[in-house]
Structure formats: C-alpha cells, structure tokens
Amino acid sequence: MDTFEVLSQLVTLSGGPGDEARIAACYQTLSKPYIQAFYTDSVGNSIGVAHGEGESRPRVMLAAHMDEICLMVQAIEPGGFLHVIGIGGFDPRTLLGQEVIVHGAEPCCGIVGSKPPHLQTPEEREEAVPLKDIFLDLGLSETRVRELVSLGDRVTLRREPVRLIQQGVSAKALDNRASVTAMLLALEELASIRHSADVYAVATIQEEIGCKGAQTAAYGILPDLAIALDVCHGEMPGVESDLVQKVGGGPVITFGPHIHPKLFEKIKKIAKEQNIPYQIEVTQGATYTDADPIQIVQAGIPTALISIPLRYMHTSVETASLDDIAHVGRLLARVIASLDAAFVEGLSCY
C-alpha cells in the first residue's frame, strides 16, 4: 500500500460532519483486502473487523475520525452570493480567495470572495474579516444558484494534495485522513502477521463537532481497550516549542489523566523494541480527541492516544510527514500483535 496514494484518495474526497458517506465508501474499498467483516452502524461510523487467532481474543478498537471541518449555506443573497456558517473550527482569515465546492443538487465549484484593498476603508484593512461577512461566488445567476443550492448544503475546500520534498505532504483534511491512512496501513500489516486480537478499525463520524461517532461506536463494540488516532500540532514559527511536536519526528504518544498508564507504557515499549521513533505529548486533562468519550463509555474502556504531528491545522494546506503516518501504522500493528489475554486482564489492576 503506497502511503501517498492512499492518503490522496482520502483527502481529495469531501466529507464534513454528518456528510461522511463519500469517505466511508472509500474506506470500505481500501480496507476490504485486509478484513473479514465490514459494517456501518446507525449513525454512520464505518467499522472494519480483522479477526485474530485462538479462542480468547481481546477486542481492540482503533478510532480515527474521517470528517473534516466544513461550511454550511446559511443564506442565498441577491445576485446569487452565498453566506455560510462554520461546522468545526474554521479560522476566517484563511478562507479569503480559496476555492470551494458547494455540495448542492450537483457539486458546484466556487470561490470565497474578497473585497479588494482599493475598496476597503483604512479600518477594514487592519481587521480580519469575520465569517459573517464572508461570501461565496459560484459565478452563476441568482436563478441558477437557487435551482442548485439549498440552505444547509455543505461547503468544503477544494484543494489537490501536494507531495513535498523529504516525505512531506500538504493537503486539506489531513486532520484526520492522515490517521485513517495510518489505520489502513496497520490493517495491511496485521494481515501478514499473527495476532490474537479482534480488531475493530473504526472510521468515526462528527469528531469535529464533539466526538459523537467515537462514543456511539465504543458503546456498540465494547472493546477491551481502545487506541484513538488523531493529529497534533507540529512545530512552526511563532509557537512555543512545548506546545508542538516535530514533523518527521515520529508518532506522538500522549500521556495524561485520560490515558491508561499501562497502555501508554506498552506503546512506548513496542516503539523502542521496533526501533520506531516516537515523541511524548503531555496533557493536563482533556485531549479533545475521540479518546475522551471512548474512555468513559459504560464502565470505562482503557484508552490510549497516538497522534501525527501536523502544521497549519484547519487550513487547506495542512502539512505532515508521510514517514510519520507510516510509522503510526506500523506501531499500531506491532502493539496489537503483542497483546495477550494476560495483558488485557492486567489493565484493570492498578
């Protein structure tokens, strides 16, 4: 499996919170050679199951959200211009001049319009444009826009992935299709090695608006342990070094109150044994990832979090390392292969 090729297939597709069907279909196709079962639950989580060997098989849940931040049509203005609201954490400063796709009766390409500096007041030139003042231009008549577009239609950024030197990649929706790619790489490796776990690899929905899918998926699967996959902030100018991780420095293993200590130590141990570079991220509380709701489902699920360093999060030029993605996939597979009934039973003993 070529990491860039798989990632490109995933990030080129559009799928905001509540509109993940295109991503789910792609994930099903890509995972099919490496799993024995696949199903979609009632809220839209896509779940591939790779069975292990033996009678006593621990249930392991992997969770990587497949939704991306997006916009939603709020109003159609005279002239056919569109006003939008954000679904997820958009920074309006990054939107001006971007190409977009409006997912209406048929996909419509458009642009995010911007008042030229010649027409701005001195005060406007010094201020960021708020989202409520941003408009989309489809280049169509108002009549045609109203035929194609309805209130509530999703709008996603239009951007092709770019391969950079030294295994870099830049694209929209690397948050969190990079982790979905890593999960697929893990399934591929697990198919070629012996393991005793039943692996439930879940492409979750609606993480960007509160981790809805992870909670319902965990409730349905009731795994013995779970590993959430997401992105974290990569180093960049103007940001303190203790807030970011090194892009290209390897998987980021998180530790904090929400993370099970024995699972954290197990992941570190396997990374060392397999000579996989890794980094440690410390959090004082919530991780704001799928790990948080999974941990407290029913009587509680031992949970860990592995992240991929990412620059420029929630923009159309998110940037990561293909090596980091591949290393996360390999680390996941090797951690799962190391699990046995005794370790899983020991997770309940502090």
Verify whether residue 127 is a known catalytic residue: no
Is 314 annotated among the ligand-binding residues? yes
**Residue 320 near residue 233 (C-beta atoms within 8 A):** no
DSSP bridge pairs for 193: none
| Separation between Cα atoms, residue 34 and residue 185, nearest integer Å | 10
The gap from C-alpha 240 to its chain's centroid, in whole angstroms, comes to 24
Angle made by CA atoms 204, 319, 112, in degrees to the nearest 5: 85
Six-digit token string for 103: 């997912």
Q: Which residues lie below 8 Å from residue 29, measured CB to CB, with a gap of 6+?
A: none
Nearest to 303 by CA among 319, 316, 289, 313: 289
Active-site residue, from 20, 188, 207, 318: 207
Say whether 118 counts as a known binding-site residue: no
Dist. CA 122–CA 160, nearest whole Å: 35
Consult the annotation and say whether 65 binds a ligand. yes
Cα–Cα distance measured from residue 303 to residue 228, given in angstroms and rounded to the nearest whole number: 7
Interstrand relation of 59-65 and 225-233 (parallel, antiparallel or unpaired): parallel
Tell me: is residue 175 an annotated ligand-binding position: yes
Q: Which residues are catalytic?
A: 207
Binding-site entries: 65, 175, 208, 230, 314
Binding-site entries for Zn(2+): 65, 175, 208, 230, 314
